[in-house]
Chain A
C-alpha cells in the first residue's frame, strides 16, 4: 500500500437500547434509574440457586413494535434464548441471556440521507432481546472495584446493522434515526447520559474497488452522538496510517478516550473470546401467532420520515418546510388537522403561514402549539378567506394577530373590523381617479413609462384602502387609466 491508495470506510453499528419497562426482563424487580446501589436486585439477578427466569411480556411486545417500525421481514413466531458465557463481576450468573440463534426480529431496513442528500438504505441484520449487566465502579477505590447490580437484568434490544455505513457522518445519521424511532415508539426513554441508548461501532477500511472487507476493530460503548462521529473518524485515521506504513489492523476491541481523542486497545475481558453459547435450558421457546404481531400495529405512529414524504410528494410542501413540521410532533398534528378541513385553500399556504405568522406568534408569546392560542377551526377559516380572495395576505396577518388568544373566527373579524378586500371595481375606480387627480405630475411620469410611478400609485391605493384593495384589480384599473 502506498499513500496514493484511496480508502473506503465500512461501518456497522450495534445499538443497545434499554427498554422502558417497569420491571426487569426476567423478574418483577424495579428498573427505575438512579436508585442507591444494589437496592433493585432480586434473588434472580443475584444468581441465587433455585431462581428461574420468567419472561416480561412487555419486552416481547416492544421488540415486535420495533420490528414493525423498521419493516422487518422476520418477526419470529418462535424465538429462543441462549446463554453467552463469560465471567465478570457485574454479571453474577456467569452468563448473559441473549438470543443468538432465533432472534425476535430480523432483516429490517432504515432509509437515511447520504452526504449528497440521496436516500440510502441501511439494512438491519437483527434486533434481539437480551439482559443488561450491572455496573462496575473503578475510580472510587484503589484496590477494589465496586459492584452495583441495579442495572443487571434490565431489558435491552440490541439492534445490529449490516456494514452498510460508509462514513462517521452516516453512522451518526443512522444512530439518530434509530433514536428517533425508539423514542417515537415510546419503547426507550432515549437518555444517552444515563446509558439507555449505547452504541458499539465496527470499523474497517479497504482500498476503493476491493470487495473483501478489511480487518475490523470494535469501538465499545460510545454514549453520545458527537463521540460516535469523533471516535470513528479518529479510528479510520489510525487504520489508514497503520496500513500505509506497512502495518496490519488487528481485530480487537478498542476504547475511545474522549479526553485524548484517541482509541486504544481494551484489555480483553478474557483471554479467548469463546462464549460457548448454548440454548438456555431455563427458558422455553417464545411462541406467538400472526394475530399477536398484528395487534401491535396499532401502537406504531407515523414517523417523521414518512410524514416528510407525505408532505412533499402529496401536498407539494417545500422539503425544508416539510422537515420542520414533521419533526415537531404537535406542529405536525396541528398541520394534519388543518389540511383535513381545507376546502379551497392549499396545504402549501397552510404550511407557509404555519411556519411564518403562526410560528412568529408562538415565539413572541413564548407559547407552544398545544397551548391552543389558535385552534384549527380558526386557522382553517383564515386560510379559506384568503383563498376565496376575501382578504389579502397582508390583512391575513392582521387577522391572525387579532384572533390570537380568542375564539373569534376570521369571518367575524373581517365583518366587525371591515377588513374585507375591496373588489368592487366601481369603488376602486373612484379611489384611483381621485388619487390620479391629486398627483398629476406623478401620473404624467407614469404615462411617460416610469414604472416606479406605477408602484407609487399601487402603494397610494393600498394606503387609502388600508391594504384592503385587491392588487390585481388595482393593476388593471391603472393600466386602463
Chain B
C-alpha cells in the first residue's frame, strides 16, 4: 500500500471534503492505484533533463499596466447567498 487511512483523512481535511468512516477504505484503494500509476514517472531517468515548469514550448506573455476592467460589483454580489453593505458575508472566521 502506497497510501494509508491517515493520509486520506489528512487530505480530506486539507481539501475541506467530508469523508465518512465507511467511505475511507474504498478511497484508500482507489487513491492507491492512482498513486501507483503516477509513480511510474519516477522510473524515468532525468539525470540530463532540465527541470520544466510547463510542458508548452512558450514563455509568459506580459500585459501593460492598464486598467481594462470595470466594476461588476452588482453582478458578483447578486450571486452571493448573503451580503451586507457591499460585503460578502461568510460564517465568522476569527483568528
Contact = CB atoms under 8 A, between A and B. Distances in A.
Interface in B52-95: 53-54, 56, 58-69, 71-73, 76-77, 82, 84-95
A145 B61 contact: no
A286 interface: yes
Contact of A21 (B61, B62, B65, B82): B65
B6 to A, nearest CB: 12
A305 B43 CA distance: 54
A57 B64 CA distance: 6
A40 B86 CA distance: 12
A267 interface: yes
Interface string A318-344: 000000000000000000000000000
Contact of A137 (B58, B66, B87): B87
Contact of B86 (A23, A38, A255, A269): A38
Contact of A60 (B14, B62, B69, B91): B62
Contacts of A102: 53
Given A28-B63, A80-B53, A267-B94, 17 more contacts: A23-B66, A23-B68, A23-B69, A39-B73, A56-B63, A58-B64, A87-B16, A138-B92, A138-B95, A143-B91, A145-B90, A145-B92, A148-B87, A283-B60, A284-B56, A286-B59, A287-B60
B93 A281 contact: no
B88 to A, nearest CB: 4
A22 B82 CA distance: 30
Given A23-B67, A40-B71, A281-B54, A147 B59 contact: no
Query: Which 5 A-B pairs have CB atoms at the shortest separation, nearest pair first?
Result: A28-B68, A146-B87, A58-B65, A57-B62, A37-B86
9 contacts: A23-B69, A28-B69, A37-B85, A57-B65, A89-B93, A138-B94, A143-B92, A266-B95, A276-B14
B22 interface: no
B49 interface: no
A285 B60 contact: yes
B72 A42 contact: yes
A250 interface: no
A274 B61 CA distance: 31
B13 interface: yes
Interface of B: 10, 13-14, 16, 53-54, 56, 58-69, 71-73, 76-77, 82, 84-95
A270 interface: yes
A28 B93 contact: no
* Interface size bracket, A side: 35 or more
B25 to A, nearest CB: 23
Contacts of A58: 64-65
Contacts of A279: 53-54
Contact of B59 (A39, A43, A287): A287
B86 A144 contact: no
Contact of B89 (A22, A56, A144): A144
Contacts of A400: none
A75 to B, nearest CB: 16
A350 interface: no
Contacts of B53: 80, 101-102, 279, 284-285
Interface string A58-96: 111000000000000000000010000101110000000
Contacts of A146: 84-85, 87-89
Given A146-B87, A279-B53, A284 B58 contact: yes
A276 B66 CA distance: 33
A22 B66 contact: yes
A79 to B, nearest CB: 9
B90 A147 contact: yes
Contacts of A270: 13-14
Contacts of A36: 73, 86
A38 B68 contact: no
A38 B14 contact: no
